[in-house]
Amino acid sequence: MNSIQESLKHNLRQYGIMAALVLVVVTFNVLTGGRLLWPNNFASLIAQNAYVLILAIGMVMVIVAGHIDLSVGSLVAFIGGVLGWAMYYWHWPWPVAVLLALALGAAVGAWHGFWIAYIRIPAFIVTLAGMLMFRGLAIVIAGFTMAGFDQGFVNISSGALPNFMGYIGGLDVLTMILGIVGVVILIWMQFRARASQIRHGIEPEPMLLLAGKLVVIAAAVLFVTTLLAMSDGGTPIVLVVVGVLIFVYSFVLNRTIFGRHVYAIGGNLNAAILSGINTARTNFLIFVHMGLLAAVAAIVVTSRANAATSTSGQSYELDAIAACFIGGTAVSGGVGRISGAMVGALIMGVLNMGLSIVGVPAAWQQVVKGLVLLAAVALDLVSKQRAKVA
């Protein structure tokens, strides 16, 4: 029993975030008369907030390492403008234009990383400069809206996986199979991680608590899967893109040397330097990854709008930062999980959609989101102070 209490205390923040998401969903589903969880509305919720999920993945790495990136919104507009230009004026096939966007995103990330890692200009200043520069370039490139792209490109954000397995009882079979496979993989990975902890002499999470957590997560995944299976399209393609990114970057942060170095730099920079970590190289790569993910977000946003415009990406950096902080990423760095940031992004997305359905004006929606962010950061700081006292 003591081990369970200790584990609950250690993971209280993580469980609290998940409980907050459930509370927000239930509250707005009641306030909207059940409309929030209509299958098509839920599918739209994912599509509308895909850019936040994608940007938050990279922002977690940036914040954990003790930095901040204010440029990602402008990057979405700039890269989206170049992407649109390539398809609209140069008539490039959309897959080639997408590759160009990804390469450009990595190059811009390398530009930021160079100044931050090797010239040692604070990331706040470098990315603030980038925010101004790339918003200006976006206006130059996409001053006139470019619209009407190939349907294959539009399907990235608006399409769904082909329903080649048909329906059973009104449910898309492919979507249900994907959800069940996802649950099985999740359970396997959790037990594999537990076995690894035991082999290395680390006290694992109590089996009873692990089993309870997995039951709750599996039920949530299957509930979401059922909603998507009942929607008009089934599994959105953009959800597959986001899912792959979450899996890849969770592995990178938790299972690779690079990921351990990111946490070490954010936890104690001087100790990381003394232990022989190449901090400059790690910081450089962090921003290369952030630029690459900004490019993915630009592709998704441009695809969803079926247009490239210089006004896209407004305040996206704030949405991504807010998702990370709400999801438990520490303001001081060294602590943060991609899963937490995803929950934070979903909380923001549910607030946006729920408040819109209820009819709350956009100005007051911003007020509510600001209060939620402030409360999340205050809770993080207070819990740390209490831990120090204890």
Same domain, 10 and 50: yes
Q: Which of 210, 235, 260 is the last residue of a domain?
A: 235
Q: Indicate whether 145 and 166 sit together in one domain.
A: no
Nearest to 217 by CA among 182, 192, 244: 182
pLDDT at residue 25 tops 60: yes
- Final residue of a structural domain among 209, 235, 261: 235
How far from 230 is each of 45, 61, 165, 173, 353, CA to CA, in Å? Answer: 15, 35, 14, 10, 19
Poorest-pLDDT segment among 8-12, 224-228, 359-363: 8-12
Instruction: Evaluate whether 209 touches 194 at the Cβ level (below 8 Å).
Output: no
Same domain, 19 and 152: yes
> Do 98 and 111 sit in the same domain of this protein?
yes
Do 75 and 136 have their domain in common?
yes
Q: Output phi, psi for 227, to 5 deg.
A: -60, -45
Question: pLDDT tens for residues 62-110?
Answer: 999 999 999 999 999 999 999 999 999 999 999 999 999 999 999 999 9
pLDDT at position 3 over 70? no
Check residues 203 and 143 and name the one with the higher pLDDT.
143
Task: State the residue for tokens 């969770």.
Answer: 250
Torsion angle of the four alpha carbons 198, 338, 15, 349, in this order, in degrees rounded to the nearest 10: -160
Tell me: do 9 and 96 sit in the same domain: yes
Per-residue pLDDT reduced to its tens digit, 196-217: 888 878 777 778 888 888 888 8
Instruction: Please give the pLDDT value at position 10.
Output: 55
What value does the mean pLDDT of the chain take? 90
Task: Tell me phi and psi for residue 168, to 5 degrees.
Answer: -135, 115
Which of these three, 220, 235, 250, is where a domain ends?
235
Give the model's confidence band at 7: pLDDT under 50 very low, under 70 low, under 90 confident, else very high. Answer: low
Q: How many domains does the chain have?
A: 2
Q: What is the pLDDT of residues 161-176, one digit of tens each?
A: 998 888 888 899 999 9
Which one, of 349, 372, 268, 344, lies nearest residue 14 by Cα? 344
Structural domain including 196 reads: 161-235
Question: Do 141 and 85 contact (CB within 8 A), yes or no?
Answer: yes
Instruction: Verify that 382 and 257 share a domain, yes or no.
Output: yes
Which tokens belong to 229? 């299976």
